[in-house]
Amino acid sequence: MAISVGIVGASGATGASIVDGLLEDGDFTVVALTRPESVSKPANKALAERGVEIRAADLKVAASVLANSLRDLDVIVSAIGPTEQLEQINLATAAKAAGVKCFIPCGFITIIPVGGCHILRDDKEIVYNHIKRLHLPYTILDVGWWTQLALPHLPSGRLDPVRTKYRLPAGQDMPMVGDGNVPSALTDLRDIGRYTARILKDPRTLNKMVFVYNELFTRNQVRDELEKISSEKIPRNYVSYETLKTSLEEAEKNLKASGAVTGSSEHYQLSVPKMMAQYQISWGIEGHNTPEWAEYLGYINSKDLYPDFKYFTFEGLAKEALARH
């Protein structure tokens, strides 16, 4: 019998990958849980044409009311936006009332210790703790850094059409953190949904944290690899920990001075420089985003669970992108 999965954020980048992975697998009935006012949007119409049920679900109504939209679902996967993380508290309460068998909250980020290293990670922990207080079955899934976001700028600009799709700046490279020699786990966005499909059918992952990743690269290794593939020389610009620390302090000062309400769109926009500096310090200086750190923090490793998983490589992505342009 097919596993029924409700997805929050099905039209976003991570949510779309999850939809793709579940439909490709074939053992799932997929339901997109969307705001009532968004049911008729083109993105949802496109999902419906692929066989996804579009179901209105207002995450802000009382949990007892929201539960009525969830009662026939085996699993809920949340790929909710960064400004809406705490709305998952009500969603989890409703999932518990509805008898959902597994709740996958919106993890899907790099490995980061909780408690001051990253504001988004700390918001997620609030949700995770609420889930555990409810005694709601869960799986927490983190995925490292998207391979797509690791693509450097080439002097020819040949990769810019792909990079700008993922909001990387055209015409310029992102500076490398520290000396560029700290390894960091990468996962192709297209594989997130395929991993999710495997995990949802695997009882070993219930009530566990799972770290899925494809490859480990330092930022220097990424550029070495791309130089071989593209035959272009990539300039290497480095940013020090001290510079990042100054950027972080400045971002925190501006955020505090703004008076923006936590959870508002303005607060999120002002938080982006802080979040980016925290990400860069975490994976580029502290080296958190590795299997070793994940194991220390209590994650189980996708390499141990699924040694047969055929993933998209950095080399393959780069060659594919270059072939198009």
Catalytic annotation present for 124: yes
For residues 301-324, one letter each, b for 16 or more C-beta atoms within 10 angstroms of the residue's C-beta and e for the rest, the string is: ebeebbeeeebbebeebbeebbee
Helix (H) or strand (E) holding 201: none
- Residue 265 has, within 13 A of its CA and on its CB side, a CA count of 0
**Tokens describing residue 321:** 């992108």
Measured from the Cβ of residue 146, the count of other Cβ atoms closer than 10 Å reads 22
| Chain centroid to CA 209 | 14
The catalytic position among 124, 165, 256, 310 is: 124
Q: Give the integer Cα–Cα distance in Å for 115 and 126.
A: 11
Residues contacting 201, CB < 8 A, separation 6+: 3, 27
Give the 3-state secondary structure of residue 18: helix
Q: How many helices (H) and strands (E) does the chain have?
A: 13, 13
Q: Is the Cβ–Cβ distance between 27 and 3 less than 8 Å?
A: yes
Cβ atoms of residues 168 and 174 within 8 Å: yes
CA distance 38 to 127: 25
What is the C-alpha R_g of the chain?
Answer: 20
- The catalytic residue positions are 124
